[in-house]
Chain A
Amino acid sequence: MIEVKQLSKVYGKKDTAFTALQDVSFSVPDGSTVAIVGKSGSGKSTLMHVMSGLDHPTSGSVTFDGKVITDMKPKEADAFRASEMSFIFQAFFIEANRTCMDNVMLPMEIAKTTRSRRQQKAEKALEAVELLEKRDTKARNLSGGQKQRLAVARAIVNEPKLLFADEPTGNLDSVTGDRIVSMLFELNKKLSSTLIVVTHDEELAKKCDMRIHIKDGKIRSIEEPKSTKKGGKK
């Protein structure tokens, strides 16, 4: 269960102050898929950054299974992210000069996964995104869709409880994008992890259990499955 309480984020000070998030509250049950929907500049990425502890909120808190991420010291937050979360970005952010294998190894090195298990886990992750035959190919030689699949493999290799995807299909054509999306949903079921997708694509949003619409840093509406009673804006 992820609980976001009265989260606000103000960039800059005084004259230049800009409120990117204002009083955002909601909760996400474990294992669900969530879409954060809104136009460009509405604060979706900011919300994701603050939720993951990468950025600090001006006020409010984020609690993950009872642990208050927003109160954690940087070191704790780092360790927490390494073991519990993962990310996929619109611009892939893969290491272009390294092999696919090397890219997938990174989160395991950071999370200090036992050395003997790394190879097998990496192969499994590459297999899941159908890139196993490209294991020794340099990432820069992959197509856009393959790059994003590699990013997915890297994101799931540690079997995180929470996966953030910031406009994962933004740089891809619709066919390739759909393939990535279906992969993400499949993996979410298989790993029973929570998936939070930031998107302005309504099609993609519809596939999610829960949709949080934001505009100008504020929640406009939350659509959630009837089975979930808790959470939401009160």
Chain B
Amino acid sequence: MSTSDLIKRAGRGLKSAKLRTLLTALAISVGGFTLALTLAASNGVRNYTDELVENNFDPAELTAARDPEITSTGGGPSGAPQEYDPAIGDVQFGDGGSVQIKQVTQADIEILEQYEQIEQVRPFFTIPMQYVTREGQKEYTGSLQPYSPGQKPELVAGELPVDNDLEAGSIILPEAYLELLGFINADEAIGKEIDISISKEFSFDAIEDLLSGGIDSEDFTDLSVDTVAPQEKRFTFKVSGVSVRPATSFVFGVLPLEISSEDARELYVFANEGSSNFEKYIYATVKVENGEDDAVLQSVSEQLEADGFYVLTTDDIQETLNQFVDILTGMVFALGAVTLIASVFGIVNTQYISVLERTREIGLMKALGMSKKNISLLFIYEAAWIGFIGGLLGIIGAFIIGTILNPFINDALNIEDNLIVFDFLQLLGLLFALMLIGVLAGLLPARKAAKLDPVEALRTE
């Protein structure tokens, strides 16, 4: 019997038991549905994380640190307490636990700047901004950070320099402040001046200076308590752009105000000079020339590692995110697989019953000269049909549900691109896999059919 005749006959065999076929197929369709939707969701989420990384990180940039914990993507600081190292400055977090982090020093920054392939080094620092205000307006809290050309903010008004840093003296203002600072709209804010207040901590170094060297100094008279006491100073900036939160943003809460690196540096020096942590950074961001090229980035990253830096690339971050997505996908996938296992038993059961019911038919086919192999194939193809029908139902169901859900998800998450993305080849592969599962489930009953004694079968009346 030819393969096509067998497949057709197997299909017609199922047609004659429509309800049973459908019910068995439905069992496998549940697994198919889950798997198809999981695959599609994983595609969408992967696209989303790719975009997230693309929008928030510059692929030509590296993060360089002196402490492995900073660049580790393996899930937070190691649990074990570490030996205290007096050479490392204390970095205190929150309520004053002693976590030591080896910081990047000014000397390290200079090492980095000497690299030929490194275009720009931006040490990470925080500026203790107190508030932002405008003449005649109230004062509002916020955060301030240096502008990074690799992570351009999304603007509703104003313009950004194409490749370079912001112009000195200009500031990007988040949309949320517009009304608070008395602007009618975003366009009106452009070119207007706003004030940032920065506080300088009480400086022990300055006191030391004052008490030791300072006393003998000729310009002793210049020294006053004001030099050492906490200070507050207002800096004035001109709004050059109004930013909004992009759909794919890592920042939750209020967006930061952004100023040029140069200005940020000035503010940092003002706020931190004389403190014990001055010019010590947790990490530095390094922009590599032609760093979009993976090979270039890789070679720089290797050199940095040889120089004792710990390096984190955009790829590492993406990998970490993908790992996370993979774990979630894997879990849902496993769920789908479990329902598939259940449906395998369904198919085995149905096919066993079918073989028993069709004992005479099998006997007759054998009498007519159908070989054991073909009898077996007939039942295997039937099981494959069940897998195919179930798979198709599940996949079509997933497609319909996914298509319906997409706009709702987009609405809820405020994103533009679909989070459930169907890939034709993937679905085809899935369908094939489900047919294969059908075949596997059909093997045992098919074997039983092939082994059936035709004489016995023909004696049954």
Contact = CB atoms under 8 A, between A and B. Distances in A.
Contact of B365 (A52, A91, A106): A106
A169 interface: no
Contact of B368 (A45, A75, A107, A112): A107
Nearest to B364: A93
Contacts of A111: 369
A128 B367 CA distance: 22
A78 B364 CA distance: 12
Given A49-B455, A93-B364, A110-B1, A79 B461 contact: no
Contacts of A209: none
A215 interface: no
A109 B9 contact: yes
Interface string B330-364: 00000000000000000000000000000011011
A82 interface: yes
A81 B369 contact: yes
A98 B368 contact: no
Contacts of B68: none
Interface string B266-300: 00000000000000000000000000000000000
A79 B364 CA distance: 14
B369 A78 contact: yes
A192 interface: no
B372 A79 contact: no
A90 B369 CA distance: 19
B461 A91 contact: yes
Nearest to A93: B364
A224 B2 CA distance: 42
A98 B16 contact: yes
A54 B455 CA distance: 7
Interface in A93-148: 93, 95, 97-98, 102, 106-107, 109-112
B111 interface: no
Given A109-B9, A110-B1, A112-B1, A78 B454 contact: no
Contacts of A52: 367
A228 to B, nearest CB: 28
Interface centre among A54, A74, A80, A87 (most CB of B within 10 A): A54
Given A95-B361, A102-B12, A112 B2 contact: yes
A74 B454 CA distance: 12
A82 B374 CA distance: 13
Given A78-B370, A87-B367, A109 B2 contact: yes
Chain B CB within 10 A, most for which of A74, A90, A95, A112:
A95
Interface range on chain A: under 10, 10 to 19, 20 to 34, or 35 or more? Answer: 20 to 34
Contacts of A112: 1-2
Contacts of A194: none
Contacts of A74: 371-372
Interface in B1-20: 1-2, 5, 9, 12, 16-17
A203 B343 CA distance: 56
A54 B454 contact: yes
A202 interface: no
A62 to B, nearest CB: 15
A55 B368 contact: no
A140 B254 CA distance: 76
Nearest to A85: B369
Given A87-B367, A87-B368, A102-B12, A93 B2 contact: no
A97 B2 CA distance: 22
Contacts of B9: 106, 109
A93 B363 contact: yes
B449 to A, nearest CB: 15
Which of A81, A85, A90, A110 is the most central at the interface, judged by chain B CB atoms within 10 Å of its CB?
A110
B368 A90 contact: no
B52 interface: no
A97 B366 CA distance: 19
A26 interface: no
A144 B1 CA distance: 29
Given A90-B461, A93-B360, A109-B1, A54 B366 contact: yes
Contact of A75 (B16, B360, B371, B455): B371
Nearest to B453: A55
A64 interface: no
A134 to B, nearest CB: 17
A82 B455 contact: no
A89 B368 CA distance: 12
A214 to B, nearest CB: 17
B364 A82 contact: no
A111 B367 CA distance: 12
A82 B458 contact: no
A81 B461 CA distance: 23
Contacts of B16: 97-98
B5 A81 contact: no
Given A54-B454, A55-B455, A110 B365 contact: yes
Contacts of B361: 93, 95
A193 to B, nearest CB: 16
A82 B372 CA distance: 13
Interface string B420-461: 000000000000000000000000000000000011001101
A81 B367 contact: yes
Interface string B370-397: 1110100000000000000000000000
Contacts of A82: 368-370
Interface string A36-80: 000000000100010010110000000000000000001100111
B16 to A, nearest CB: 3
Given A54-B458, A89-B458, A97-B17, 10 more contacts: A54-B454, A54-B455, A81-B369, A82-B369, A87-B364, A91-B360, A107-B369, A109-B5, A110-B1, A110-B365
8 contacts: A54-B366, A55-B455, A74-B371, A78-B369, A78-B371, A85-B369, A90-B461, A102-B12
